[in-house]
Chain A
Amino acid sequence: MGRYIVKRIVAGLITMFVLTTVTFFLMHAIPGGPFSPAEERKVPKQVLEKIEEKYGLNDPIPVQYVNYLKNLAQGDFGLSFKQRDVTVNEIIEQGFPVSAKVGSIAIVVALLVGIPLGITSAIKRGKWADWLAMIIATVGISIPSFVLSVLMLFLFAVVLKVLPTFGLTSWQHYILPVAGLSFGPIAYIARLMRSSMLEVMRYDYIRTARAKGVHELKVICKHALKNAIIPIVTYLGPLVAILLTGSFVIERIFSIPGIGRDFVTGISDRDYSVILGMTVFFGAFIVVANIIVDVLYAVIDRRVKMDE
């Protein structure tokens, strides 16, 4: 177990290093700094140099790179170019709890809806429940989350006027963003669960369980489910990534003050230090999530050789 985790962590660190390096050099290859060209003309040269010194922009790029890595090792993501005196750490500290809250609700909803939907669909194969579940799944897989969110916003907030539109001040405010974020994953989980369940139900050990006189409900919920759920567990890693990128558009549509919106704001402001810092943070977050999922998977399925 120990060796397995260490190996995963080393692989994660390499991924992080590559991502950080690529992002750093891409962002530094694009012209632009703390000031727009218009501002640069107005500000006295001395002040400009002082500020550039503060950002470490006077050093040659390789030195800047090494410094950045050093700071990063201490958890320092650097300063924002455009929001003066605000660090990337502060932006993340403010936005992350908000995004994490919406995101974790979305994960729970996706699992709680998607898994039973898939199971029902598999058990009632060919019946109307199966058709209904698969229609929902096809809609969820086909329609991009931002289109769906805008359509829902239009339907529930504009036409029906039953749900609030922007911000996150009451529990009702969570409904549309969470639905927008989790609809695609629900669809994917339902499809995955259905096919996995259908496959598992054909296995010999299910017949063995039935031949032992185990109640059909227990055959499904104990013997089949624990085996069928494994693909869902491996999907949890990509799921975190999907919710993260999904938050870029969802938080923009519903004006949620989370890191997704901050990142998109960074993009439209061309705030390269924010983009760099947040990309590294997102990468680290995903890598950690993947390691946790891998360990979880190994715990559920003992056949996975931990020392491989």
Chain B
Amino acid sequence: MIHTARMKEREDGPFSPGAAADLPDDLFEKLDESDRQDNEEITRPSKSYWQDAWSRFRKDPLAMIGLCVIVVMAVAAIFGPIFSEYTYDGQNLENGNQPPSAEHWFGTDKFGRDIFVRTLYGARISLLIGFVAAAINMVIGIIYGGISGYFGGRVDMLLMRIVDIMIGVPDLLYIILVMMFLGNSIQSILIALCLTSWIGTARIVRSQVVTLKHQEYALAARSIGSSNLRILFKHLIPNSIGPIIVTVTFLVPSAIFSEAFLSFLGIGIQVPIASWGTLVNDAIPTLFTQPYQMLFPALAISVTMFALNFIGDGLRDALDPRLKK
């Protein structure tokens, strides 16, 4: 059916703002194609994933403070001891249990060792263990989770059952056992930390790969004859790098925590090397008389953990906005 709309002529046309007669006739010409605003036009400038993430990260004040703290701490840990006249194991029994002074900023322990330098060495160990353990765990997690997710089926079943068995028991138990077996050293701590910490990363990688492997670009890559490994590491892993980085970021503080925990229990770093955990542990007997011996290393751990957690939160919000709560 065809209708032709009838128009009632009205004298008091309610077309606002002015009366109908005020509007010039040319306004009622039909709009040319060129006059049309293209509402499909993208008005915001396009940014790459990393530019976008960095600009989001930069706007997070806590994350930026965290980043500065870690950078300062890393610089101090690497270069600080060089400029100090004291060494981490230089004993001076006559100068034991000194409170903080211009000479010894954080005081001295019962052997007269400078706590400031020992704390800086602790920073070296903590940051080294934190970042190396996180890096190793990232590699293991990506390979394990990638294989499990990409090949699926029986391989996936088997690999995930192994994971299920391992996470049935707290990882600190495994770590303690392995430390007992390997003895106290940085290497043993790293090996022990790499036993189970990759599980979280592996699970994230697996779930990402499982969802991504059926997408067009993966199918396209396969159709032109790319090898499985190439598809996995060239296409799938780079596309899930955001969540991977976020998970790995939180591995750094957890590795630092584990090291401090082990050292506190006396199965971490070998004496006389100092770690924050051993420093806090050593300070307990003198807590009532020389509390500063405990205070500075405790603060160092806390500040570092705060900073790393802030960086982690900031990175999560920046790299994976969907996770933002």
Contacts and interface: CB of A to CB of B under 8 A. Distances in A.
A touches B (Cβ under 8 A):
yes
B177 interface: yes
A245 B264 CA distance: 13
Interface in B222-266: 253, 257, 260-261, 264-266
Interface residues of A, number: 49
Interface stretch (A97-105, A167-175, A216-224, A275-283): A275-283
A195 B291 CA distance: 38
B18 interface: no
B204 interface: no
B314 to A, nearest CB: 13
A18 B181 CA distance: 17
Interface string B305-319: 110010000000000
A147 B301 contact: yes
B75 interface: no
B180 A143 contact: no
B173 A279 contact: yes
Interface string A1-38: 00000000001101110110011001101100000000
B172 interface: yes
B302 interface: yes
Interface string B267-297: 1000000000000100110011001001100
Interface string A147-163: 10011011000100000
A268 interface: yes
A267 interface: yes
A16 B173 CA distance: 13
A287 B291 CA distance: 40
Nearest to B176: A267
B67 interface: no
A268 B172 CA distance: 16
Contacts of B287: 150, 153-154, 158
Interface in A226-260: 241-242, 244-245, 248-249, 252-253
Contacts of A248: 172, 265
Contacts, number: 115
B24 interface: no
Given A26-B180, A253-B284, A147 B306 contact: no
Nearest to A191: B325
Contacts of B294: 150-151, 154
Interface string B13-39: 000000000000000000000000000
A142 interface: yes
A26 B172 contact: no
B265 A267 contact: yes
Contacts of A30: 180-181
Contact of A286 (B168, B302, B325): B168
A44 B170 CA distance: 42
B309 A138 contact: yes
Contacts of A195: 325
Contacts of B177: 22-23, 26-27, 275, 279
A41 to B, nearest CB: 24
B169 A158 contact: no
B178 interface: yes
A178 to B, nearest CB: 19
A69 interface: no
B165 interface: yes
Contact of A245 (B165, B173, B180): B173
Contacts of A22: 174, 177
B298 A267 contact: no
Given A14-B165, A275-B180, A142 B325 contact: no
B238 to A, nearest CB: 28
A199 interface: yes
Looking at B168, B257, B302, the one whose CB has the most chain A CB atoms below 10 A away is: B168
A298 interface: no
A141 interface: yes
A146 interface: yes
Contacts of A57: none
A154 B291 contact: yes
Looking at A19, A146, A245, the one whose CB has the most chain B CB atoms below 10 A away is: A146
B164 interface: yes
A144 B257 CA distance: 7
A233 B40 CA distance: 47
Contact of B302 (A143, A241, A252, A279): A143
12 contacts: A15-B169, A143-B302, A144-B301, A146-B280, A147-B302, A151-B298, A154-B294, A195-B325, A264-B265, A267-B265, A282-B170, A287-B168
The 8 A-B pairs at the shortest CB distance, nearest first, are namely: A15-B168, A241-B170, A195-B325, A142-B305, A245-B172, A142-B306, A147-B298, A143-B302
